[in-house]
Amino acid sequence: MSKFNILIAGNNDPISSKGIDLLKAEPSFSVEVNMNLKAEDAMIEASRNAHAIIVRSGAKVTAKVLEAAPNLKVVGRAGVGVDNIDVPVASKRGVVVMNTPGGNTISTAEQAFTLMMALSRKTPQAHATIVGGKWDRAKFKGTEVYGKTLVVLGMGRIGAEFAKRAKAFGMTVIAYDPYLSKNRAESLGVTLCEDLDAAIVQADYITMHMPLTPDTKHMINAKRLGTLKKTCRIINCARGGLIDDAALAQALTDGTIAGAALDVFEVEPPPADYPLLSAPNTVFTPHLGASTEEAQENVGIEIAEVIKAHLLQGTVVNAVNMPNVDPKVLAEIGPFLKFGELLGRLVSQFAPARANVVRINYSGKVGSGDTTLISRAVLKGFLERAVGAEQVNYINANGVAENLGIRFTESRLTEPSEFTDLIEVVAKNDSGDAASIAGTFFAGEPRIVRVNSHRIEARPEGTLLFIENIDRPGMIAAYSTTLGKNQVNIADMSLSRDKESGKALTLLTLDSTPGAEVIAELEKIQGISKVHCVAI
């Protein structure tokens, strides 16, 4: 019996057969390849039972697809851009989205470079005339790229590979990328320009290599096209929508710029009457940047491997909506994840009304590593009470907290403390009321060591009963009698008080979970102010 259904979905754009074979070789996987999934309805039907979906750019994993697939755990993109996947909805539903950055970098840089050269030398047009029986040499005088100024928009993996090649061809390279450091620009030998408009007016060539986001949409628009040199040529091998295609068609027709070479379009495939298709001085390819043997093998095998590792071992690699967790780290922090979740759950029981801040204080060794995932575990545990355990997971925990207006902060104390590792979870509200629980590991075993200001020691197992009471004789006998009378056996007990006759806290480990009526009975005992019961 297969445990996981894997759908390799596409619109005539399969992943490498080596990737498919790798998945098919796993006995617990049932793999379906369907390359006729252009329509959303078809995609919804095909995805219903999937635990994992793998796509290139042809199939779209929309909100409706995600909502119709209750078992879905992971969506893998054999490539870089995840704009065909509704990542916010995936995150809300706790679905990990992974991609394969790097595997198609060289192929895409080479494709963009090819487009630049073909545009400069009118190669496709010249080829077409020969095939058409003409030998027309006068019509196809081109331009050298040597000595020209190239502006690279987006100096990431592909932009940097393009820049290296451009420098080898004798071009002067200017980079515009708000996230590029001066050091990186220096090491690439490019001039960093912090102002987009100031950069592009210098360009003989512009090449685009950034993702499509609300910030980058129509980055090259009619206004900016109007500021370019008349001899400027634009290459876009990143994403349609970075350029306003209608404005580009107009600029080409008016001769405002000298040419455009595009691998990507705002509408893919562009319809026959798409204005750009009849504009002069263009070279087009149908989204072929990553279409090489090498790139497809790289990304096909890589996505198959990361999906397999995620389904079988919980490993997270190259996720766009979750921090990476490799098996070694997972083995190290695994116990903290479970314990962190429990601490979060416990503190939610004690939290003051309308708690809107959760702070996690790490001290000791645990605070010196990456605590992102442990914090998500704590937050997940804390939020379960508010939204239900089914509704919150490591992927959507931050988003769920944000929706509820709960802020989350972390602090780290790496100096040695009383405990080798200590995680303290504090919940506070706007009035300054707070509750906290702290835990540690003794010889690899988790222990709760503090509840608010009370020092206690308890193993988090079975059912925990926290009783807040006045410190006075007869209290232990009173609650023990009530529990005994109701056949609830006490396995362990930890007592704490702030001072003699002050406030006391009892933490009982029970062999069974008392019902609501038993809790109500306990709450009625004179001197008991609160009772919290948590089954682990």
Ligand X SMILES: O=C(O)CCC(=O)C(=O)O
Active site residues: 239, 268, 287
Judged by CB under 6 A, the residue of 289, 381, 460, 462 near ligand NAI is 289
Residue 279: count of CB within 10 angstroms of its CB: 18
Alpha helices in 181-269 (DSSP H): 182-188, 196-200, 222-225, 245-254
For the record, the structure tokens of 431 come out as 């009035």
Q: Is 290 in the site for ligand NAI (CB under 6 A)?
A: yes
Q: Is 30 in the site for ligand X (CB under 6 A)?
A: no
56 binds, among ligand X, ligand NAI, none (CB under 5 to 8 A by kind): ligand X
Q: Is 494 in the site for ligand X (CB under 6 A)?
A: no
For the record, the structure tokens of 356 come out as 């809107």
Looking at beta carbons, which residue is closest to ligand X?
79
Q: Which stretch binds ligand NAI (CB under 6 A): 135-143, 182-190, 209-217, 250-258?
A: 209-217
Q: Which stretch binds ligand X (CB under 6 A): 21-29, 73-81, 247-255, 421-429?
A: 73-81
Q: How far is the CB of 300 from ligand X (least distance, A)?
A: 10
Q: Is 105 in the site for ligand NAI (CB under 6 A)?
A: yes
369 binds, among ligand NAI, ligand X, none (CB under 5 to 8 A by kind): none
CA distance linking residue 83 with residue 423, whole number of Å: 38
Q: Is 56 in the site for ligand X (CB under 6 A)?
A: yes
Compose the 230-259 pattern: x for residues touching ligand NAI by CB under 6 A, - for all others. -------xxx--------------------
For the record, the structure tokens of 120 come out as 């400069």
Classify each residue of 9-46 as buried b or exposed e, where b means 16 or more C-beta atoms within 10 Å of its C-beta.
Answer: bbbebbbbeebbebbeebeebbbebbeebeebeebbeb
CA distance linking residue 323 with residue 375, whole number of Å: 11
Q: What amino acid occupies position 475?
A: M
Q: Is 216 in the site for ligand NAI (CB under 6 A)?
A: yes
Q: Is 79 in the site for ligand X (CB under 6 A)?
A: yes
Q: Is 291 in the site for ligand X (CB under 6 A)?
A: yes
Within 117-136, which residues bind ligand X (CB under 6 A)? none
Judged by CB under 6 A, the residue of 11, 16, 47, 104 near ligand NAI is 104
Q: What amino acid occupies position 60?
A: K
Q: Is 91 in the site for ligand NAI (CB under 6 A)?
A: no
3-state DSSP assignment of residue 58: coil
Q: How far is the CB of 246 from ligand NAI (least distance, A)?
A: 21
- Is the Cβ–Cβ distance between 77 and 55 less than 8 Å? yes
DSSP string, 407-467: EEEEEEE-S--SSSEEEEEEEE-TTS-EEEEEEEEETTEEEEEEETTEEEEE---SEEEEE
For the record, the structure tokens of 343 come out as 């601490």
Q: How far is the CB of 224 from ligand NAI (least distance, A)?
A: 13
Q: How far is the CB of 427 from ligand X (least distance, A)?
A: 42
Q: Is 57 in the site for ligand X (CB under 6 A)?
A: yes
Residue 147: count of CB within 10 angstroms of its CB: 10
Q: How far is the CB of 100 from ligand X (least distance, A)?
A: 8
Q: How far is the CB of 67 from ligand X (least distance, A)?
A: 25
Counting residues that bind ligand X (by CB under 6 A) gives 10
CA distance linking residue 303 with residue 194, whole number of Å: 35
Classify each residue of 460-474 as buried b or exposed e, where b means 16 or more C-beta atoms within 10 Å of its C-beta.
Answer: bebbbbbbbbebeee
Per the listing, tokens 């999937």 go with 50
Residue 487: count of CB within 10 angstroms of its CB: 10
Q: How far is the CB of 96 from ligand NAI (least distance, A)?
A: 19
Within 144-163, which residues bind ligand NAI (CB under 6 A)? 153-159
Close Cβ partners of 483 (under 8 Å, ≥ 6 residues apart): 489, 490, 508, 510, 514, 518, 522
Compose the 369-408 pattern: x for residues touching ligand NAI by CB under 6 A, - for all others. ----------------------------------------
Q: Is 210 in the site for ligand NAI (CB under 6 A)?
A: yes
> Considering Cα of 301, then 307, then 312, then 315, what sign does the dihedral take?
positive
Compose the 63-82 pattern: x for residues touching ligand NAI by CB under 6 A, - for all others. ----------------xxx-
Q: Is 81 in the site for ligand X (CB under 6 A)?
A: yes
CA distance linking residue 219 with residue 450, whole number of Å: 54
Q: What amino acid occupies position 423?
A: I
What letter would DSSP give residue 473? T
Q: How far is the CB of 498 from ligand NAI (least distance, A)?
A: 53
Q: Is 318 in the site for ligand X (CB under 6 A)?
A: no
- 361 forms beta bridges with 411, 424
Using CB under 6 A, list all residues that contact ligand NAI: 79-81, 101, 104-105, 108, 153-159, 176-179, 209-211, 215-216, 237-239, 263-264, 287, 289-290
> Applying CB under 6 A, which residues contact ligand X?
56-57, 79-81, 104, 287, 289-291
